[in-house]
Amino acid sequence: MNNFELIDDGEKCDDINLNIYYKDNTDNKYKSCSKYNLMPNCYECEYNGIDEFTCLKCINEYVLLHEAGNVISCKAESTLIGDTKYFKKDENNYYQCDIYNKVENCDTCNSGNECLSCKDGYDIVNENKLCLSSSDIQSKKYYLDNDNNYYYLCSYSLAHCSTCDNKIKCLTCINNDYVIEINDKCIDKDLVTQNYYYLNEENNKYISCSEIVGCEKCISATECISCQKGFNFNSDNLCKKESSDSKITSAQICGIVIGCVGLGLIFAVIVLLISKKKRNNIKKLDIISTKYEENKNVGEPINGINKSSEDIVKTEEKK
């Protein structure tokens, strides 16, 4: 009839709900999720058109159970109720405790998905947020932070660290691409290859060349191969700081030149002013001498006062 399709190789006619049925592209036929997706008791599913099914919902009284290894199945809910090894997320989904709460090796949990106990061989720590075995602690992959009584992976505080004594002392790095330096941290091995670190044979740890005064790259504690900016090699293949008077920069040269020119101009102006003042004084003396001779001849005092020629000259010089 119209609006219906043949389902499951002609077993029935039904309207198409693509959650309950899927179209198999290999033979272009509609098939039931519960019959052909190889998951017993599945009712609704998704199909990628090739070979992968995802069950969305189980038949009545069954729920989806999510377990380790991404294993999903339809289980009778009656067998899961009250089982603390599983956490009920919603009406259709139950999860194995350690899968949903991400507490690895968690065995039982409560309705709030808080881990209650760990699997055999593991102890619950960190306020029920971590399950650790005695071998994990003995192997030193974790360290105990005494400030809050929590256990942490070594790599939590020490980058690229695999085992450690505490949050500041790494014992081994995650792989051969890293090595331990003098401060008990892992550094990239390329820094050693590029001569930014050298090996201290006394403790078999690497030390930064920058610990040597003025040194950038080195071969050992007594032999630098390049210096930091502002340092030069000395006769012992080490670096010494450049003397402040050993090198005059172009800016300093410009400053000296400008200063000299400025002083020259100031000196020239002073000389010019002195010379001008002298010329003015000479002119004044000439005028005074002329007036004196004229007054002498006519017998009249200058400005109505009889003065000697020396007094007149002194007075005019003061003016």
pTM of the model: 0.55
* pLDDT for residue 45: 87
51: which 2 tokens? Answer: 């070979």
* pLDDT, tens digit only, all 319 positions of the chain: 888 888 887 888 988 877 788 888 778 888 888 877 778 899 988 887 666 788 899 999 999 999 988 899 999 999 999 999 999 999 999 999 998 888 999 999 988 888 999 999 999 999 888 999 989 889 999 999 988 999 999 999 999 999 999 999 999 999 999 999 999 999 999 999 999 999 998 888 999 999 999 999 999 999 999 999 999 888 777 898 887 654 555 556 666 667 666 676 776 667 676 766 666 655 555 555 555 555 555 544 444 444 454 554 554 445 4
14: which 2 tokens? Answer: 């039904």
Q: Which H or E run includes 243?
A: none
* pLDDT for residue 157: 93
Strand blocks (E) in 27-160: 29-32, 42-47, 53-58, 62-67, 71-76, 86-90, 93-96, 106-109, 115-118, 122-125, 130-133, 142-145, 150-153
Tokens 């693509």 belong to: 18
* pLDDT for residue 311: 54
Max CA pair span of the chain: 160
* pLDDT for residue 253: 63
Count of beta carbons in the 10 Å neighbourhood of residue 44: 19
Residues in the chain: 319
- The DSSP secondary structure of 47-82, one letter per residue, reads E-SSS-EEEEEESTTEEEEEEGGGEEEEEEGGGTTT
Count of beta carbons in the 10 Å neighbourhood of residue 292: 16
* pLDDT for residue 36: 73
Strand blocks (E) in 195-250: 197-200, 205-208, 215-220, 223-227, 231-233, 239-241
Contact 32, 7 (CB under 8 A): yes
Q: Which H or E run includes 299?
A: none
